[in-house]
Structure 1
């Protein structure tokens, strides 16, 4: 199968690309930057018998888009530019619309769009853009699947690292999440791209729902850091959504790698 991955140099894309080539697929790994030094270039064999091509694609402008989708069976749309002002909308919404149109012209048979669990329930501007992008995919002529995933382990670990610079660790203990490992998401997507388009919104999360206090205590213990935790409820509608479980999937499959598994791997082994 010929597969285009947008956002191939991102947190998930770096894991998904070799996952799909190991499965024997021909993969076009698209990003705005040239191929990294020492990596397989265009038309060179990749690990597992698949073929890996690195292509340049800028969704904010459309540069490289027709060539990127030409001859592709499936598009896995991971590209995103969160919290970057108007550029976020250029990539996540306008760029998604461009991609849907180009994929239709190229005869793409399945477009898989990666979104976020809770995007329809959390009153955040970035999440609203994701919902608009989901709607653009669903309204388009290309058979589609929207996959909402929970927060990646690496995202939460980075958030903890930033908070740990403070003398106390502020958190809202009533917030719950179900973090997922990028390796589990990549494995799920390896199956999803070969299955029929669902024409539906699906969810995928980690193996367990955890409260913010547990997440923080596990991270502190793994890093051997001592910090007093300060209870600080998130205010307003945002806090109410978080405490109501908006970040936890209500349906869908689950990964196997736990938060503690991720932390035990150590920083050098953590891909996401």
Structure 2
């Protein structure tokens, strides 16, 4: 039986990966800070991490946070994976981490390099932003009567369950290095995404486009975080919003 461990296995992406990997032919272990029996803080590592990796063939590394600590967590994971003889680590990254000088992107790129130099078999999949993240951002910006949006910035949101399908496929294969990027089906202006959000939620907000400064903003404005040539996702942002609204009406 193949044993696969999913870090961040209770998160937005990880829980879907776990669901897709669980079959009679596989044991899937869920690792997070609070998930028993593999409750581990990757930033600390230690004997609990070693125990979680004992007998594991493949790791799908979904655990990540923009609040910091990803490099330390990945370093601990790689060291423990070496000790345990893990054959394959699959990592989810972001389109543009090598082009956009944004702190979280730089961290994700550093983790990619760490895996490349780890001596382990590895696979890296870069995707565009999840629909869930775009919704979170728009909710935050829509709290005031005026919704400010970065001027001349586009996005290409992708459905998280489709990303989970791809990660599960990669996890059941051999190490493949950096695979083709995965983008959502449409490159959209932030304004169009915001207006779809406002329409579905029934909110009325004045949408204002605000020019920003800095190298990261210039890279986002240039589209360095997009993958129009890899628009392989199927689910649109409107379909995502409609499905969430339906679940809310059903009490789910």
TM-score by length of 1: 0.85
Deviations 1:85-137 (A, max 9, x none): xxx23xx1122112112212222111001111121122112211111111100
Give the deviation of 1:174 after TM superposition.
Answer: 1.6
Residue pair 2:186, 2:231 contacting (<8 A) in 1 also: no
The aligned length equals 246
Give the deviation of 1:81 after TM superposition.
Answer: 2.3
Q: 1:219 to 1:24 in 2, by over 3 A?
A: farther
Using the alignment, how far apart are the partners of 1:234 and 1:181 within structure 2? 28
Residue 66 of structure 1 aligns with which residue? 50
Q: Report the 3-state secondary structure (helix = DSSP H, G, I; strand = E; otherwise coil) of the residue aligned with 1:261.
A: helix
Residue 78 of structure 1 aligns with which residue? 62
TM-score by length of 2: 0.91
Q: 1:104 to 1:269 in 2, by over 3 A?
A: farther
Give the deviation of 1:250 after TM superposition.
Answer: 5.7
Structure 1, unaligned stretches of length 5 or more? 36-53
Residue pair 1:173, 1:211 contacting (<8 A) in 2 also: no
Residue 235 of structure 2 aligns with which residue? 257
**Aligned with residue 98 of structure 1, among 50, 57, 76:** 76
Using the alignment, how far apart are the partners of 2:228 and 2:87 within structure 1? 28
Deviations 1:15-66 (A, max 9, x none): 211111157521000011144xxxxxxxxxxxxxxxxxx5122211103111
**Aligned with residue 221 of structure 1, among 199, 218, 242:** 199
Give the deviation of 1:234 after TM superposition.
Answer: 2.5
Residue pair 1:153, 1:182 contacting (<8 A) in 2 also: yes
Q: Report the 3-state secondary structure (helix = DSSP H, G, I; strand = E; otherwise coil) of the residue aligned with 1:196.
A: coil
Residue 120 of structure 1 aligns with which residue? 98
Structure 2, unaligned stretches of length 5 or more? none
Using the alignment, how far apart are the partners of 1:16 and 1:251 within structure 2? 25
RMSD of equivalent CA atoms:
1.8
Q: 1:137 to 1:240 in 2, by over 3 A?
A: same
Q: 1:74 to 1:159 in 2, by over 3 A?
A: same
Residue pair 1:203, 1:251 contacting (<8 A) in 2 also: no
Comparing 102-111 with 156-165, which one deviates more in the overlay? 102-111
Residue 120 of structure 2 aligns with which residue? 142
Residue 12 of structure 1 aligns with which residue? 13
Q: 1:212 to 1:248 in 2, by over 3 A?
A: same
Q: 1:119 to 1:221 in 2, by over 3 A?
A: same
